[in-house]
Structure 1
Amino acid sequence: MEFETIPGVGEKTAAALSELDNAEEALRDGDVAALSNAPGITVGRAAAIARGAIRREHDDPGGFLATDRATELYRDALELVQSRTVTNYANRRLETLFPTGSASRIEEVRAFARDALEHEPDPEVLDALSGVEPLSEPPTVRVRERCIATADAERYADAKSTFPELSIEVVEDARGIAELARSYSTVVVLDETFAGIDVAGDVRVLPDAADRIDELVPERLLNFFAENRETLQAAAAVHDAANLDPACDTDALEDALSRLSDDGTIVGDDELTRLTNAVSDLDAAVSTAESVANDRLRDVIRERDVTIEGTDFLSLVEQGARVDSLLGRELEDEFDGALAAAREHFVESLGLVGSEAAFAEQIFPENPSFPLEHDEAAVGRLRTELKAGRDRRAAKLKAELASDLQTLRDPVETLVGDALELDVKLAVSRFARDFDCVFPEFTGAAGEGEPGSFAIEGGRSPLLDVPFEDVDPVDYDVAGVTLLSGVNSGGKTSTLDLVGLIVVLAHMGLPVPADSVTLSRFSELHYYAKSQGTLDAGAFESTLRDFANLTDGAADRLVLVDELESITEPGASAKIIAGILEELAEQGAAAVFVSHLAGGIREASDVSVAVDGIEAVGLENGELVVNRSPVKDHLARSTPELIVEKLAGENDTTFYSRLLEKF
C-alpha cells in the first residue's frame, strides 16, 4: 500500500507506518490503537490517519462538518457513544466514525451498527471487558546461558538484530567454539562449515537458526504470554460471558498460562522446583549440616566420662587439638555418627538424588575434626551440576511450553481483537438502547431534482440538561428553505440542535434518537450558532462573506442558522436574511433559519418562504406552556404578546385590549 496516497499522510508519517508489521490491516480495520504504536504517531494523529484511509477507500473528499458548531455537534454525538465504552481501545476506535456524504461509507457503518444492536449489554460481559486491552510486546530480556556463534561478519550483524536476547560471539575455529561451550550451556553455530564439529557441551550447528526463533529463544514467546496474561484471561472471560465462539481453545490457553509465571519462567514442575530450590538453598544447607554434626559432637564430648573435665576438653578441641590425638579411637564411632547425620541432613534438605547425593561424601569427607568443616571445592562442583541440571530442565520445559503456545500466538490476537471489537459494538448498542434510537431512512442525495429534506417523528435530544426520559418529543419536517419562529425559551435552538444531531448521527451511519426519521443524504452541514451580540463592521463583513460563499455552493447542503439577526440592526437583518434565503431557495438547498423576524423576513423576500412556529399555548404561574413540535406554516406568537393577552383577560381596562390589537 502506498501510504502517502492517504489524505494527510506525508513522507515522514508514511515511513513511520511502514515500521508496523500490520499497518495495512490496521488501516483497513480502523485500528487506532495499532496505528498509534508507530513511532512518533499519537493517538489523535492515528485516528486522523485512519479516517483519511477510510475517506480514500470511499472516495470521500471530507468537509461534511463545514462550521465550528457542526463540529461541536459531532463531538457531542461521538461523546454520547464513547462514554459507553469500557476499554480505551473502543474509545479510540470510535474516533474513526465520522459523518460523511458517501453512501458506501454510511452503509458500511450502518451494517456494523445493525450487528452491534444484536448484542445486548450484559453486566458480566462489561465487567470482563474492564480487564481487556490491546496486546503488548514485552521488553527484551537477556538470556545468559545460550549464545550464537559465527565466523562471518554479515551473519553476525543479522544475528544481532534477529536474536537481541542472546550474546552473539565471533569465532575463528573449533577451539573458539569449545571455549564458548565451557561458558554457555548451549552454543548455536550459524556456519555450516562447522557441521560435524566434535566438542564437549551442547553445541548445535544451525544455519537456519533465524527460522527457529521459538525453538532457540522460547523466552520471547513465553514473555509475550506472561506480559499479556491478564488481558488474555479477561478476553477469554468476555467470550464465555457473551457466548461467543473464541478463536482458540481457551481451556488449552489457561492450562498453558498456569505453567507460566508472571516473569516468564516455568512453574508447576516438581523437578525444576527441586533443582531451583537446591541451587538457591545450597550454602544454607551446608551450614546447617555442619551445625547438625557439631552440635551432636559437643553433646557427646560434654557427657563423656574422661579424666579431663568435659568443658576443658571441649575448650582444647575448639582450640585446634585433633580428636584422634586426644582420645585415639574412643570417639571414632561418635564422629562417624555425626558425619552421617550431617550428610543425611544435607541430602534430605536439598532433595538430592542419584549422583547429586554422592556429593555429600565429597563435601563432608571422613577426616575426624572438630568443628566439622566442609570442602568448598566440592560445594562448587555440586553447584555447577545443579545449575546445569536446572538449566537443562528449564530449557526443555520452555521449549515444550513454547511449542504449545506457538499454535496459540495468532489465535490469541484474534481472541483479544474480537473482545475489543465487542466493546465497540456494545457501546453503539448501549447508546441506541439508552436513547431509544432507530435507523433513519435515506431518500437519496439532496439536490437530485428535489430540494433536500428531513422528517423527524418523536425526536428527543440527549444533549439537553434534563433526564432523557423527561425530554418532550419533537415532530418536525422541512423541505427546502424554512423560517422557524417561536417564543423566547420555547425551544427553537434545542430543535435546531436536535435536527443537527440527528443529521450528524445519520451521516455517521448510526441510529438516531427518534421514533422515525427520513432524510436526504447531504454533502455538508453548515450550522451557524447564535451570535453573541451585534458584530462590529469588520466581523459583520466577514460573516457576509461566509454566507456569500455558502450561497455559491452546491445544492446538496443542509444549512442551519440560529438568529442571524443578532449580527446587526433588526431592519437590516431582515433584508439580509431574506436575500440569503432567496439564494438558497434558488439553489434548491435545504435550510432552517431560526428568527424572531420571520414576519419581516417573509415580507422582504422576493420568493415564497415557509414559516413554521413553535407555539406557546399560554402561561401558567408565570411559565410558558409550549408545544415543542413546530407547527407548519404558522408564525408563532411572541412572549410579549402572550403576556399582554393574559393581562387583557384578567383586567376590565381597555388598555390591554387596545395594546393586544397592535400585535
Structure 2
Amino acid sequence: MEFESIPGVGPKTAERLAALDEPERALAAGDVAALAEAPGVTPGRAATIARAAIKAEHDDAGEFLATDRAREIYRDALALLQDRAVTDYAAKRLETLYPAASTSRIEEVREWATQAMEHDPDPEVLDALSGVEPLESPTGIRVRERCLATADAERHAAAEAAYPEISVEIVEDARGLADLATGYSTVIVLDESFAGIDIAGDVRVEPDALEKPAMVVPERLLAFFAENRDRLRAAAAVARAADLDTPCDLAVLDDALSRLDDEGSVVPDDELARLRQAVDDLDAAVSTGESVANDRLREAIEERDVTIEGSDLLSLVEQGAGVDSLLSRELEDEHAAAIEAAREHLVDALALDAGEAEIAAQAFPEEPTFPVEHDEAVVSRLREELTAARDRRATRLKRDLAADLADLREDCEELVHAALERDVELAVARFAREFDCTLPELGGSGVAIEAGRSPLLDVSFDAVEPIDYGVAGPTLLSGVNSGGKTSTLDLLALVTVLAHMGLPVPAERARVERYDSLHYQEKSQGTLDAGAFESTLREFAGLVSGTGRRLVLVDELESITEPGASARIIAGILEELAGGETTAVFVSHLAGEIREAAGFDIPVDGIEAVGLEGGELVVERSPKKGVLARSTPELIVEKLATRDGEAAGDVESFYERLLEKFE
C-alpha cells in the first residue's frame, strides 16, 4: 500500500507507518492500537489515519457533514457510543465510524453492527474488560551473564542490531573464547568454524542464533509476558465470559503465566531454588561449619587426659604453642572427626550434590590446626561453581518457558485484539439497548421516523416523548415556542447521521434516504449585521447551487433580519431547493407568510399545542402533516375569550375580536 495515497499522510507519517510489523492489516482493520505503536503517532492521530484509509478504500472522498451544527450532532452521537465503551481502545476505535456517502462503507458497517447488536453486555464481561489494554513491548532489558561471539565483523553488526540486550564480542580463536567463558555464564558462538573446540564452561556454537531470539534472549519474551500478564489474564476472562472464539488455549496460557513472576523471571523449580539458596547461604554455612569443627575440638581438648590439665593445654593451644604437633600426636582422630563434621554441615546446609560436595570437602583442610579455618580459595571456587550452575539452570528454565510462550505470542495478540474488539461491539450493543434502537431502512425519498426519541435532550431518556414524523422534499415546520421544533430537527439529524454511519437509530422504525450530505443551519442569536447577513446568504447560495442528494435542516432563519424580508428570502430559498434531490425542513414562526410568498405550494407541518394547563403548554410532539400550528399567543387569547364568567362583556368581546385576527 502506498501510505502517502491516504489523505493527510505525508512522507514522515508514511515512514513511521512502514516501521510497523503489519501496517496494511492495521489500516484495513482500523486497528487504532496497532497504528498508535508507530513512532510519534498518538492514538488520536491513529484514529484519524484509520478513518482516512477507510474513506480512501471506499472511494468516499466527499464530506457528508457540511455544517458546524451537523458536525456537532456527529460528535454528540459519537460521544454517546464512546460513553458505553469500557476501554480506551474501544473509544478510539469508535472514531473510525463516520457518516459516509459511500454505500459500500455503510453496508459494511451495517453488517458488523447487526452482529454487534446480538451480543449480551454481560456485567461479568464488562468487568473483565476493565483490565484489558493493548499489549506493550517492554524496553531497557539488559542481560549481563550471556554474550554472543563471532569472528566476522558483518555478523557482529547484525547481531548487535538483532540483540541490543546482550553483549556481542569479536573473537579470533579458541583462546579468545576461553577468556570470554571466564567472564560470562554462557557464550553463544555464531561461527560454525568454532564447532568441536573443547572449552571449559557453557560455550555453545549456534550458527542460526540470529533467527532464534527465544533461545538467545529468552528474557525479551519473558519480559513481554510479565509486562502484559494482567492484560492477558483479563482478556482470557473476557474470552471465557463472552465465549469468544480465539485461537489461544487459555489453559496453556494460564499455566505459562503461572511460571512467570512479576519481574519477568521464571518461577524457580526445586533445583533452581536449591542453587539460589546455596549461593545466598554459602558464607553463613561456611562460618557455621567452622564453629561446628571448633566446638568439637574445644570439647575434645578440654576432656583430654594428658600430662597437663586439659584446661591448661587449651590455654596453651589457643596461644599457638605447638598446636600442629599437639593435635597430630594427641588429637588426630578428634581433629579428623571435627573436620568431617564441618564438611557434613556444609553439604547438608546447602543441599549440595555429589560434584559440589567434592569441592566443599576441600573447604576445610585436613592438616591439624586450631582454630579450624576455611580455605577461601576453595570457597570462592565453590561459589563460582554454584553461581554458574544457578545461572545455567535459570537460563535453561527461561529458554524452556520462552519456547512455550513463543508459540503463544501471536495467539495472545489475537486474544487481546478479540477482547478489545468485543468492547467496540458491546458499546454499539449497549447504545442500541439503552436507547431502544433499530437498524433503519436505507432508501426511498426523505426521512420517516416512527416512535423516535432523541437521547440528546437534557432530560432522562425515559422521560422523552416519542414522535412520529416523515418528510420528503422542501417542507415548513411550524409550532409553538418550546413545542419541540428544534428537538425534531435534532432527531432528524441524529437519525440521518447514525444511519449513514451504518448504526442503529433511536426509534421503533425508521427509513432514511441515502444522502450525499447533511446541512444543518442552527438558529441565529439575534438579528445579524449587514456583513453577517451577506455571509449567510452566500452560504445558502452555495447550497442551492450544489448537487447531489441532500438533507437540509434550518432552524428559524427569519431571525437573521426583519420578519417581512425573512419570509421572502426563505420562500426564495425553498423555491430553489424544490424540484431537486433535496429534502429540506425549515423551522419557522413565519410559515404562513412564507407560504404566501412562495411561488409553489409548499407543504407546512405543525407541532400543535392542544391547550394550556396550569400556565403550561400541552403539546402534541409529533408534527401533523398539512397543519399550520397555532402560536402560543393565539392559544392564550383563545383561553381568555372562552373562559366562563370571568370577564365583563366588553372585555370578553375584546378577546374575541383579537382571536379573529388569527383566522
Q: Same fold by TM-score, threshold 0.5 exceeded?
A: yes
Question: Which residue type is aligned with residue 579 of structure 1?
Answer: G
Q: Which residue matches 1:205? A: 205
Secondary structure of 1:607's counterpart equals coil
Question: Which residue type is aligned with residue 354 of structure 2?
Answer: G
Question: Which residue type is aligned with residue 10 of structure 2?
Answer: G
Contact 1:439 1:510 in 2 (8 A): yes
Residue correspondence of structure 1 range 396-407 to structure 2 within 5 A: 396-407=396-407
Q: Which residue matches 2:15? A: 15
Report the count of equivalent residues: 656
Deviation, 1:297, is 5.5
Residue correspondence of structure 1 range 100-111 to structure 2 within 5 A: 100-111=100-111
Secondary structure of 2:144's counterpart equals coil
Secondary structure of 1:587's counterpart equals coil
- 1:216 and 1:482, CA in 2 relative to 1: closer, same or farther beyond 3 A? same
Secondary structure of 1:625's counterpart equals strand
- 1:565 and 1:312, CA in 2 relative to 1: closer, same or farther beyond 3 A? farther
1:176 aligns with 2:176: yes
Residue correspondence of structure 1 range 543-622 to structure 2 within 5 A: 543-622=536-615
Question: Which residue type is aligned with residue 393 of structure 1?
Answer: R
2-structure distance, mates of 1:88, 1:315: 79
Q: Which residue matches 1:251? A: 251
Deviation, 1:32, is 0.7
2-structure distance, mates of 1:359, 1:278: 14
Deviation, 1:293, is 4.1
Deviation, 1:636, is 0.9
Contact 1:323 1:331 in 2 (8 A): no
Secondary structure of 1:558's counterpart equals strand
Using the TM superposition, name which of 333-342 and 352-361 deviates more.
Answer: 333-342
1-structure distance, mates of 2:567, 2:305: 129
Q: Which residue matches 1:52? A: 52
Q: Which residue matches 2:372? A: 372
- 1:321 and 1:73, CA in 2 relative to 1: closer, same or farther beyond 3 A? farther
Q: Which residue matches 1:449? A: none
Question: Which residue type is aligned with residue 43 of structure 1?
Answer: P
Question: Which residue type is aligned with residue 659 of structure 1?
Answer: L
2-structure distance, mates of 1:593, 1:302: 117
Q: Percent identity?
A: 69
2-structure distance, mates of 1:158, 1:327: 64
Q: Which residue matches 2:360? A: 360
Deviation, 1:540, is 1.5
Deviations 1:600-648 (A, max 9, x none): 1111211221111111111111111111101111111111111122222
Unaligned runs of 5+ residues in structure 1 are 445-451
2-structure distance, mates of 1:620, 1:553: 46
Q: Which residue matches 1:504? A: 497
- 1:92 and 1:322, CA in 2 relative to 1: closer, same or farther beyond 3 A? farther
- 1:327 and 1:54, CA in 2 relative to 1: closer, same or farther beyond 3 A? closer
Question: Which residue type is aligned with residue 637 of structure 2?
Answer: V
- 1:545 and 1:186, CA in 2 relative to 1: closer, same or farther beyond 3 A? same
Contact 1:55 1:62 in 2 (8 A): no
Deviations 1:585-609 (A, max 9, x none): 1323111111111111111211221
2-structure distance, mates of 1:510, 1:162: 46
Residue correspondence of structure 1 range 112-123 to structure 2 within 5 A: 112-123=112-123
1:470 aligns with 2:463: yes
Deviation, 1:87, is 1.2
Deviation, 1:144, is 2.0
Deviation, 1:13, is 0.8
Deviation, 1:332, is 5.4
- 1:588 and 1:334, CA in 2 relative to 1: closer, same or farther beyond 3 A? same
1:625 aligns with 2:618: yes
Q: Which of 459, 477, 480 in structure 1 is aligned with 2:473?
A: 480
Using the TM superposition, name which of 457-466 and 355-364 deviates more.
Answer: 355-364
2-structure distance, mates of 1:564, 1:311: 119
Secondary structure of 2:579's counterpart equals helix
Secondary structure of 1:586's counterpart equals coil
Residue correspondence of structure 1 range 67-146 to structure 2 within 5 A: 67-146=67-146
Residue correspondence of structure 1 range 222-371 to structure 2 within 5 A: 222-294=222-294, 323=323, 335-371=335-371
- 1:553 and 1:295, CA in 2 relative to 1: closer, same or farther beyond 3 A? farther
Deviation, 1:320, is 5.2
Q: Which residue matches 1:382? A: 382
Contact 2:360 2:382 in 1 (8 A): no
1-structure distance, mates of 2:635, 2:135: 64
Deviations 1:245-297 (A, max 9, x none): 33121111111122222222221411111112211222232233334444555
Deviations 1:347-400 (A, max 9, x none): 222111111122332222234444432211111101111122122222222222
Q: Which residue matches 2:656? A: 657
Contact 1:236 1:246 in 2 (8 A): no
Deviations 1:544-586 (A, max 9, x none): 1111111111140111111111122222221221111111113
2-structure distance, mates of 1:172, 1:126: 60
- 1:308 and 1:619, CA in 2 relative to 1: closer, same or farther beyond 3 A? farther
Deviation, 1:189, is 2.6
Q: TM-score, normalised by structure 2?
A: 0.94
Using the TM superposition, name which of 82-91 and 278-287 deviates more.
Answer: 278-287
Question: Which residue type is aligned with residue 660 of structure 1?
Answer: L
- 1:300 and 1:33, CA in 2 relative to 1: closer, same or farther beyond 3 A? same
2-structure distance, mates of 1:403, 1:659: 92
Deviation, 1:314, is 6.8
Question: Which residue type is aligned with residue 658 of structure 2?
Answer: L
Deviations 1:511-549 (A, max 9, x none): 001000011001111111111222222222111111111
Contact 2:439 2:503 in 1 (8 A): yes
- 1:299 and 1:637, CA in 2 relative to 1: closer, same or farther beyond 3 A? farther
2-structure distance, mates of 1:146, 1:609: 85
2-structure distance, mates of 1:620, 1:308: 126
Contact 1:218 1:399 in 2 (8 A): yes
Secondary structure of 1:559's counterpart equals strand
Contact 2:555 2:586 in 1 (8 A): yes
Deviations 1:216-269 (A, max 9, x none): 222222222222211111111111111223312111111112222222222141
- 1:314 and 1:500, CA in 2 relative to 1: closer, same or farther beyond 3 A? farther
Secondary structure of 2:623's counterpart equals coil
Using the TM superposition, name which of 467-476 and 581-590 deviates more.
Answer: 581-590
- 1:358 and 1:583, CA in 2 relative to 1: closer, same or farther beyond 3 A? same
Contact 2:149 2:190 in 1 (8 A): yes
1:220 aligns with 2:232: no
- 1:649 and 1:390, CA in 2 relative to 1: closer, same or farther beyond 3 A? same
Secondary structure of 2:606's counterpart equals strand
2-structure distance, mates of 1:516, 1:322: 111
Residue correspondence of structure 1 range 407-486 to structure 2 within 5 A: 407-443=407-443, 452-486=445-479
Contact 2:297 2:334 in 1 (8 A): yes
- 1:593 and 1:308, CA in 2 relative to 1: closer, same or farther beyond 3 A? farther
Contact 2:238 2:419 in 1 (8 A): yes
- 1:362 and 1:562, CA in 2 relative to 1: closer, same or farther beyond 3 A? same
2-structure distance, mates of 1:82, 1:234: 21
Contact 1:482 1:591 in 2 (8 A): yes
Secondary structure of 2:513's counterpart equals strand
Contact 1:480 1:585 in 2 (8 A): yes
1-structure distance, mates of 2:208, 2:318: 63
- 1:343 and 1:67, CA in 2 relative to 1: closer, same or farther beyond 3 A? same
2-structure distance, mates of 1:568, 1:294: 111
Secondary structure of 2:578's counterpart equals helix
- 1:49 and 1:662, CA in 2 relative to 1: closer, same or farther beyond 3 A? same
1-structure distance, mates of 2:482, 2:288: 89
- 1:361 and 1:590, CA in 2 relative to 1: closer, same or farther beyond 3 A? same
Contact 1:523 1:556 in 2 (8 A): yes
